[in-house]
Every structure is written in C-alpha cells, then in structure tokens.
Homo-oligomer: A and B are copies of this chain.
Amino acid sequence: MQIRFLDKVRRQNPLVHNITNGVAMNFTANGLLALGASPIMADEVSEMADMAAICSALLINIGTLRRQTVEAMLAAGKAANARGIPVVFDPVGAAATQFRRDTVERLLAEVRFAAIRGNAAEMAYIAGGAWQGKGVDAGGGAANAAEVAATAAKRYGCVAAVSGATDYVSDGLCTVAVANGTPLFPKITASGCLLGSVIAAFLAVAPEQEYLDAAAEACTVYAVAGETAAEGLAAAQSGTFGVRLVDSLAAVTARQVSEAARTSVQAV
C-alpha cells in the first residue's frame, strides 16, 4: 500500500472541528495532536458557522448525545457542506435508543457526509434494509462486514468504514480490507471515536475523488500505530496501551505503514 496522505497531514496540520462525546474529547485531542493535525472541540450552536470558516474538516460523533447538541451538529454539518469541507459521521450506539435513531435519521437526511465510520452493528443499522436491526451479532462476521460497508457507501453516496478485527472501507464500487490492528483496541474507550477524527484529518488533505484512498489509509495508519503500541504488552495492559498509542501516532512513518500494511482491495 502506498502511503500518500500521512505526510500531508503532518505538513498541513489541518484544523479538525470535533463535535464529539465527553468520553472521547481528551483522547481525541491528544491523538490528533500526536498525528500532526490540530483539534478544536466546540458544540455551541451559535459558533458552528464560524468554526466551518476556519476548519478543514468536521467530525460528528453522537456518543454522549444531548438534545441541544443535535442542533449544533446540524448547523455545523450544513455550514461545512456549504463550504465544501469534508464531514465524517460516527454514529455511536446508532440503534440503541429512539432518540439516537431519530438523530441519525435527521443527520443523514440534512447533512451530506464524506465518510461514515462505526462498528459492525452501528454500520449495519446505517446500511438499513436487510441489515437493519440485526445488532452486533449479525451473523457472518467478516463477509458481512464487507457487504455492510459497501451497502452503506452506496446508500449514502459516501465512504463507509466498518471497524473490527479487520476494517472494511468502501465507496460502493470497491472495498478495501485492512487486516492490521490489535485486540487491545476494543479494550480502551474511544479508540473508535479517535479513528473517526483521524479519518477526518486525512480527508482534510485529500481531493474529493480520493476520499476512499484517504480513509483507507487513515484506517491503516491507525491500525499499524496500534500494532506498534501493543508490541510487548500483555492483553491486560490497556491503560499502558492507551498512552503508547498516542506516542505511536506521533512516531509512525509512511514507510513503516507501507511495509506493515496488510490490505487488499476488492471490486464490490
């Protein structure tokens, strides 16, 4: 895999506006800083348009969703759309409550997303139809996750990334499988949330027609940084892993990712 965007992120230090949950805020900011991007966290509706004027990407994550934040998400999403800034959606717990289902529906209807990232259950809900409501144990595992990614991508005309032991990143025409990673990722909170923001940072430095490549590279860089961070750690050392992951995001190089990448591409 050719790594084309990582160094661009580091050179351009894109300002990424994150409307994210209270659990992920600090970890996301440190992760983006380590990677070379610049994080801003803000969710007051009255400053969303001004944020879109100075930022290069927007991340919307509904992890600890509040009613008033929904208005900020909509305002920020529309302002970013108006300026052509890529918007990434992380539909945390999308199907868990009626409030989240309603919010997800509104966001998908009113904001045009460049990419949507979630775990298999969340993305199956997003993909809708046959997938909807099957939940986390939707049966089938890897094969299904790839199909879920492709279905969601086609439905919303964007890049869809399904995170798991293997990540699947699709634009509805082809799907990239990223087999890198470590079992320590799901042992720390907000590791998926940070990946959503990392994808936003990569899209910020990519032209629109290369969003699939940029998102797949973001997932690969993140997964390889995780592998490096996990080296020599026991399965129980999730606290230490979280700290080392930040170190790794700063240290990881394009060459290292290129050599360690276990990625494959399939036509849908």
Contact = CB atoms under 8 A, between A and B. Distances in A.
A22 B251 CA distance: 27
A50 B96 contact: yes
Contacts of A93: 40
Given A22-B41, A47-B97, A98-B47, A189 B29 contact: yes
A245 interface: yes
Interface stretch (A1-9, A64-72, A121-129, A152-160): A64-72
A75 to B, nearest CB: 12
A43 B64 contact: yes
A189 B250 CA distance: 14
Contact of A238 (B30, B47, B98, B240): B30
Interface string A161-193: 000000000000000000000000001111000
| Chain A interface category by residue count | 35 or more
A21 B46 contact: no
A212 B104 CA distance: 41
A237 B187 CA distance: 21
Interface string A11-36: 00000000001111111011001100
A29 to B, nearest CB: 4
A26 B189 contact: yes
A251 B239 contact: no
Contacts of A66: 43-44
Contacts of A26: 22-27, 189-190
16 contacts: A26-B27, A30-B188, A30-B238, A33-B187, A33-B189, A34-B239, A40-B93, A44-B65, A50-B96, A50-B99, A54-B96, A234-B251, A235-B250, A236-B247, A242-B243, A243-B243
The 9 closest A-B pairs by CB, nearest first: A239-B246, A50-B97, A29-B189, A236-B250, A47-B97, A236-B251, A47-B99, A239-B243, A239-B247
